[in-house]
Amino acid sequence: MPAPHASLWWATLPREPAARAALAGDLDVDVAIVGAGYTGLWTALALKRADMSLRVAVLEADVAGAGASGRNGGWASALYPISWARVREQHGGAAHDLLISTLREAVVALGADARSLGIDCDYHRGGTVTVARTTAQVARLRAELDEARLDGTGDDDLRWLEADEALARCGATGVLGALFTPHCAAIHPAKLATGLADSAERLGIDIYERTRVSSILAGDRWRRPQAACEAGIVRAEVVVRATEGFTPGFKGARRAVVPLYSLMVATDPLPGSFFERIGLADRETFNDGRHLLVYGQRTRDDRLAFGGRGAPYHFGSRVAASHDADARVFATLEAELEAWFGPLPAPVAHRWGGPLAMARDGSPFVVLDRGTGLAAAGGYVGDGVVMSRVAAIALADVILGRDSEYSSLPFVGHRSRDWEPEPLRWIGINAGLAAAAAADAREARTGRASVAARLLAMLQGS
């Protein structure tokens, strides 16, 4: 089966995933899920585990794990896309505290659940080190720590590392200090995605690949909701849209989220002497305190996988395979990787990218309309490895009518307003990206904090 994208992760799967049949005609099930990524697969598993009699079908336009689930940065983190201060302001202290504790526990639970399903996804919880490489970043990260302390976060959950200790963990150039949290694990994303698909099938969940859903139709008093495909109509009591960055392709959801592209590069395996110099001995995931995000990990087979934002938003929320590659962004990432760690003793061998999804207010969502039978989950803004599993369990509980801690999380039932029509969103999003890049460039030159990135926060409503 041809690889669905050029990622390191798909190239290093231990075996080629088995091809699955496409839908061959009309189908009636209890729950139909559109999208065989983490959200769709975890939702299917949660439903089936709760009630083995449920008929659950997953419909995938490509192959399971072809989207962001099979090609992301491999951070299984407790990160949340909007600030904790906003969560507290909008939902109150109890909801804020529940969400923080749930996500931290979910980092560990994901690894345990994968093991229980027999999935070896290279899971290793070495935490995250966020280094400060300018005085402006020192100030910003220390302010983040002060804010966390006001929320009751202690040293066991987030602490400051002075320069020597920070360098021992992540020996990047110019390190002045760092924040460290244990609440993150490095994983191999495609091993997790393909393993979840295999696990779902073993539980009796039908997965139809190469089955593009052209439209999702609401139910009413006379008919059940439907997922319309070229080969047939799938009818269900509930139809779940779990399509993340590919969501704007559906009528009625074209402005629900925007697809933002994140690109990555990865080296060939690096010698042990290199890691003796730069650290990452516990496979810590790493980034720094800049505005325009970069992120990396040391893989189990001793590569560096390194990614970042900076690719443009495409007019009309277009998603295309051609957008997965941007020579300018790849060159920037490769130069940045060498700027962090010096000359690399092995070449960059893999370059890839893909879309993530962002709602207008930056918040994830889990929604179900009982009247129409339509449900959706997503909007993780790149923090979806753990969030997708949490959202899926919450969505399953909502579908089954069960009250639980998951179903009471603050993003459950949350609906963001639509993004602006074009050309306003193209202008605004790309202006925000440019502002963040300009702020980082200015801070790198001067060491002083820049105000340019405030434009991006204003545009995001944060």
pLDDT computed for residue 455 by the predictor: 54
Using CA atoms, how far apart are residues 390 and 449, in angstroms rounded to an integer?
A: 35
Using CA atoms, how far apart are residues 386 and 72, in angstroms rounded to an integer?
A: 12
What is the pLDDT confidence band of residue 460, given thresholds at 50, 70 and 90? very low
Using CA atoms, how far apart are residues 170 and 283, in angstroms rounded to an integer?
A: 10
Using CA atoms, how far apart are residues 442 and 458, in angstroms rounded to an integer?
A: 19
Using CA atoms, how far apart are residues 292 and 314, in angstroms rounded to an integer?
A: 18
pLDDT computed for residue 448 by the predictor: 80
Contacts of 230 (CB under 8 A, 6+ apart): 212, 214
Q: Can you tell me the mean pLDDT for 415-419? A: 97
Lookup: tokens for 7 = 């990622």
pLDDT computed for residue 3 by the predictor: 83
Give exposure, 89-107, as e/b (b: 16+ Cβ within 10 Å). Answer: eebeeebbebbbebbbebb
Count of CB atoms within 10 A of residue 143's CB?
11
pLDDT computed for residue 462 by the predictor: 45
pLDDT at 452 over 90: no
pLDDT computed for residue 449 by the predictor: 78
pLDDT computed for residue 13 by the predictor: 97
pLDDT of 128-144, one tens digit each?
A: 999 999 999 999 999 99
Using CA atoms, how far apart are residues 450 and 289, in angstroms rounded to an integer?
A: 13
Query: At which residue do the structure tokens 């990524």 appear?
Result: 37
What's the mean pLDDT when you consider all of the chain? Answer: 95
pLDDT at 36 over 70: yes
Q: Can you tell me the mean pLDDT for 209-227? A: 97
CB 187, CB 296: distance < 8 Å: no
pLDDT computed for residue 241 by the predictor: 98
Summarize the chain as % helix, strand, coil (round to 5): 35, 20, 40
Using CA atoms, how far apart are residues 280 and 207, in angstroms rounded to an integer?
A: 38
pLDDT computed for residue 461 by the predictor: 45
